Chains A and B, each alone.
Chain A
Amino acid sequence: MTLLDATALRAVIPEVVGILVRRGADFASAEDAVQCAVLRALDPSRRETVLDIRAWLVTVAWRAFLDQVRSDAARTAREKQLARVPEPGPVPRRDDTLALYFLCAHPLLTSTSAITLTLRAVAGLTTRQIAEAFLVPEATMAQRISRSKQRLVGIPLDEPGDLSRVLRVLYLLFNEGYSGQIDLVAEAIRLTQQLAELTDEPEVHGLLALMILHHARGPARVIDGLLVPLAQQDRSLWDRDAITEGVDILQGALARDRLGQYQAQAAIAALHADAPTVAETDWQQIVEWYDELLAIGDSPIVRLGRALAIGEADGPRAGLVALATVDSRVPRYYAALAYLHEGVGDLDAAATEYEEAARRATTTLEQQHLLRQAYRISRGRGIDRAGQGLWN
């Protein structure tokens, strides 16, 4: 007998939703029914023990689905539903979970809807947990979820999906990183790990490596509420085991010889993670990986990263030349410009640009970091004024 616990339950949720859909439930009702069963399972007053969690969840969710159908006023619709129930038999488990990833990343959904639905249907989080993670009321989140599911009415679970969309959803989820009761970064890694078990596609493994490598540096990134740039991070705080794991996964993916953007980004992250100090970083190779990224898809964000890498590999003057081809509206453009100007000794420009970068920052952490840079440079030059208006 096993006590129903959240972790074990969540591992089987996508599969169970898939099973209900195969038995004839539509996706929205199947997902609702499974949520209903999960809420019952997690009810502390019940503390149910079961022989097989998956079988239990299928049974309880299917009953919840039938109750829902029975209470439906449209009697004929209900009979049609029930008539479609296939004979009991073995269910292809892995395919169903993968199909659910695809459905939740369907092109009809916005990326926000896709993230939300993935968290509910694939990760098995409750509406309340998702609402808390995104800092919105539960009622608002419930409406978002039901609208998303409404958009998918009539889409069969078997429709061939686009893996790159799934990866983008997981990548965006990883980037949400809100701190709340639910760690979205950990969720993104778990979901990508599960996806990597379902497919050999090297980009899935590339994305998983990228997430693990970034997450490994997390403890050094913010100290005492202050952002610590890569160059100044205490590298002994990096999670060495995670870095080894990330590098192994990446090497496995690269060996397949089908490069993609996530593998290239992971390669850059791995080069940072491998370097004992910032000075010993192989910047030349990082520039080469940025060239690969540009060849895969040109974007101002990639160009910005490349310009900074060139600034380290060939000096800040070369970095400024590379930055000249970047659209100034890209996030962190002014921070990069300030950093490179400081590198060539143009401190007046650097101080002004750090302040401009702070004005454009979208997070308080970055804003404070950039204001401190502006202040540091101005103070060094005897001008004790930078950022005063924003500090006070």
Chain B
Amino acid sequence: MAKYLMLKYYRGGRPAVNSVPMHQLTPEEWSAHVLYMQDMAARLIASGELVSSEGLSMEGSWVRFDGEGRPPVVDGPFAETKDLIAGWMLVEVHSYERALDLASELSAAPWASGSPLGEWLELREVMSAPPVDLG
């Protein structure tokens, strides 16, 4: 079993097949999109494969340490102009092929006119704790 992170992008990723911008979706189209993902998450809980599934707000801040006893430096809030991660689904599955299938399924969430979004998802394997060095 390995854990895989499927990253969704608001923008900055590669263009989706169904390229209608988000703000042009009707409420029904948006609702169908969200329900599809919720339904997928529910099925992945039932199959024992879901680790987490979350969406991220579009606005964020940059924060960093600024020395002992000093308040953190905060830049923002602002909407990032380049890569903007929209959310993720973290799954634990038996094979890379299964992870590919799930990413493909997630990418097929309905979008404008109810046709699949066909967005590019970034698929990354999670590193694990060290295995015991047998032998």
| Interface of A toward B, CB cutoff 8 Å | 110, 112, 134-137, 139-141, 143-144, 147, 174-179, 185, 210, 214, 221-222, 227, 230, 265, 268-269, 301-302, 305, 361-367
Contacts and interface: CB of A to CB of B under 8 A. Distances in A.
B47 interface: yes
B135 A177 contact: no
Nearest to B92: A136
Nearest to A171: B134
B130 A139 contact: no
Given A143-B47, A366-B130, 9 more contacts: A140-B49, A177-B130, A177-B132, A214-B132, A222-B130, A305-B135, A361-B127, A362-B127, A363-B129
B129 A302 contact: no
B127 A140 contact: no
Contacts of A135: 3, 51
Contact of B129 (A136, A178, A269): A178
Contacts of B125: 362
A63 to B, nearest CB: 29
A112 B132 contact: no
Contact of B132 (A110, A175, A361, A362): A175
A365 B132 CA distance: 12
Interface in B87-135: 92, 94, 125, 127-135
B131 A268 contact: no
B51 A265 contact: no
A228 B38 CA distance: 44
| Interface SS of B by simple majority | loop
Contact of A227 (B1, B128, B130): B130
Given A140-B45, A140-B48, A140-B49, A265 B129 contact: no
B46 A143 contact: yes
A162 B127 CA distance: 32
Contacts of B47: 143, 147
A222 B129 CA distance: 12
B128 A185 contact: no
Given A362-B128, A367-B127, A265 B48 contact: no
Contacts of B94: 110, 112
Contact of A140 (B51, B128, B130, B133): B51
B129 A177 contact: yes
Nearest to B131: A175
Contacts of B128: 178, 362-363
A379 B47 CA distance: 49
Contacts of A269: 134
A70 B103 CA distance: 44
B51 A143 contact: no
Contact of B130 (A110, A210, A230, A363): A363
B132 A137 contact: no
Contacts of A110: 94
B92 to A, nearest CB: 6
B130 A141 contact: no
27 contacts: A112-B1, A134-B92, A137-B51, A140-B44, A140-B51, A140-B92, A144-B48, A147-B48, A175-B131, A175-B132, A176-B129, A177-B130, A178-B128, A185-B132, A210-B134, A214-B133, A214-B134, A221-B133, A227-B130, A230-B133, A265-B134, A269-B134, A302-B135, A362-B125, A362-B128, A363-B129, A366-B130
A361 B46 CA distance: 31
Contacts of A136: 50-51, 92
Given A110-B94, A136-B92, A141 B48 contact: yes
A177 B48 contact: no
A366 B131 CA distance: 10
B52 interface: yes
The 6 lowest CB-CB distance pairs between A and B, nearest first, are A144-B48, A305-B135, A143-B48, A365-B130, A363-B130, A112-B1
B29 to A, nearest CB: 30
Contacts of A366: 130
A364 B127 contact: yes
A126 B53 CA distance: 24
A110 B93 CA distance: 12
A363 B132 contact: no
A210 B134 CA distance: 9
Q: Which of B128, B129, B130, B135 has the most chain A CB atoms inside 10 A of its CB?
A: B135
